[in-house]
Amino acid sequence: MLSAFRTVLRRDLVLAMRRRADFLTIVFFFIIVVSLFPLGVGPEIDTLRTIAPGVVWVAALLASMLSLGRLFYNDYMDGTLEQMVLAPQPLSVIVLGKVLAHWLVSGIPLVLVAPILGLQFDLGGDALLVLVVALFLGTPILSLIGAIGAALTLGLRGGGVLVSLLILPLYIPVLVFGSGAVEATASGIGAQAHLSLLGAGLFLALVFAPWATAAALKISIE
């Protein structure tokens, strides 16, 4: 079971490394969306500081949603996914490996870039740290929940737009607690409650999402 998990993880990481352009596009999408806001809202630094957590988080939501298409699609097209469903190992473990690889490739870069973007919005040192921690806890939830949507819409016409309709409402709690953590730090309340809730959400998603994704994959493939 563990070896299946490791094999899938390594395979997906290798495949991602062969196509670096794919995830670099996602990172630059994230940077561009965040940079658009000052142009739209205006350069007053006080306004920007207030909206920064929300802007960064919304951009992270959109970026992670955009990258979902690649999670299962290629394997679905060349038939690998079918073999994974037929494999003796539990599908949810394989799914967990794929989701972890997806997060390492598309989630971690967002976490690393976020502090630089936060500096553009004049966030303080503590707020920046909390932003990174919150994104670190929150982006895996996005990948886990998003996997359910990606599996449900596999191979459908207009699947990309549809997945946003299915998944964005489910992302909302992550957005609320994630940006809430940064705001709480900025206003001096302390982010512990928000971060704890994010951590709880991560464990909840870690338990249930791979299982739901596996069920969705079986529905989509048969």
Partner 1 sequence: MAKINWFKYSSPASFYPLAGKVVPWFAWLAAILGVVGLYVAFFEAPLKDYQQGQSYKIIFIHVPTAWMSMFIYVVMALWAAAGMVFNTRLSYMMAKALAPTGALFAFLALWTGALWGKPTWGTWWVWDARLTSELILFFLYIGFIALGSAIEDPRRAARACGLLALVGVVNVPIIYFSVLWWSTLHQPPSLKLNEATMGTSMLVGILLVTFSLWFYTIAVALVRVRGEILERERDTSWVAQLIHEGKE
CA distance 128 to 114: 8
Tokens of 12: 């997906």
> Closest CB to partner 1 among 46 and 222?
222
Shortest reach from residue 16's CB to partner 1, in Å? 27
- Footprint on this chain of partner 1 (rule: CB under 8 A): 148, 152-153, 156-159, 162, 165-166, 168-170, 172-173, 212, 215-216, 219-220, 222
CA angle 152, 154, 160 (to 5 degrees): 95
Shortest reach from residue 120's CB to partner 1, in Å? 26
Residue type, 149: G
CA distance 115 to 123: 9
> Closest CB to partner 1 among 7 and 196?
196
Tokens of 150: 């990606």
Query: Which of these, 90, 131, 81, lies nearest to 111 by C-alpha position?
Result: 131
Shortest reach from residue 24's CB to partner 1, in Å? 30
Neighbours of 91 (CB within 10 A): 21
Shortest reach from residue 72's CB to partner 1, in Å? 14
